[in-house]
Each structure stands twice: as structure tokens, then as C-alpha cells.
């Protein structure tokens, strides 16, 4: 899997440098975009089934690539625990 992510920051949200993004761009081929979509769907399903017990998911944990290449971005999904 080869995935790059780029974006524009909206604001800094903590002292460690985490940024809230106003825009995120994923650059990948169609196969890897489908893998990303499947990961996002899996996280949404876990959020529905586990509720507040679902804390977060890492794309790299779902990959068969060992070790995860440094040039790949890890996508982390954390639920808001609200349905809208």
C-alpha cells in the first residue's frame, strides 16, 4: 500500500503540535483508495457495534505490510461517539 496525505491546517489543538485540518488530500492508486475505504467502513462498523468501547483504529494495523514503511502515512480513526 502506498498512501500519501497532504492538507491545510485550520488550527493547532494541543501543545504537542496536533493540528485540526481544514482540508485533507489522499494520494493513492484506486486499489489503495479502496483499501482505505474498507478500513474506514470497518472502523464505522466497530463504532456502531462497540459504541464507547471503540477508542480508535490504525490503518497500519490492518495492513499485511510488516514493518509499515516509513514513507507511508498512518490513518487513525477516532469516533466522536455521536451520530448525526
Number of structural domains found in the chain: 1
- Residue 84 pLDDT level (bands cut at 50, 70, 90): very low
Rounded to two decimals, the pTM is 0.81
Instruction: Read off the C-alpha cell for 34.
Output: 479502496
Give yes or no for a contact between 70 and 60, defined as CB atoms under 8 angstroms apart: no
Do residues 55 and 78 make contact, with C-beta atoms less than 8 angstroms apart? yes
Report yes or no: 49 and 43 within 8 Å, Cβ to Cβ.
no
Res 79 pLDDT > 60: yes
In a domain, 67, yes or no: yes
Q: Are 47 and 14 in contact (CB under 8 A)?
A: no
Structural domain span for residue 60: 4-77
Q: Give the pLDDT band (50/70/90) at residue 81.
A: low
18, part of any domain = yes
Amino acid at each position: 500500500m502506498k498512501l500519501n496525505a497532504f492538507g491545510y491546517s485550520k488550527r493547532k489543538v494541543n501543545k504537542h503540535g496536533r493540528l485540526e485540518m481544514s482540508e485533507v488530500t489522499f494520494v493513492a492508486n484506486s486499489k489503495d483508495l479502496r483499501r482505505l475505504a474498507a478500513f474506514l467502513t470497518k472502523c464505522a462498523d466497530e463504532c456502531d457495534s462497540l459504541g464507547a468501547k471503540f477508542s480508535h483504529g490504525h490503518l497500519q494495523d490492518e495492513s499485511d505490510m510488516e514493518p509499515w514503511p516509513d514513507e507511508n502515512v498512518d490513518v487513525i480513526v477516532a469516533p466522536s461517539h455521536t451520530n448525526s
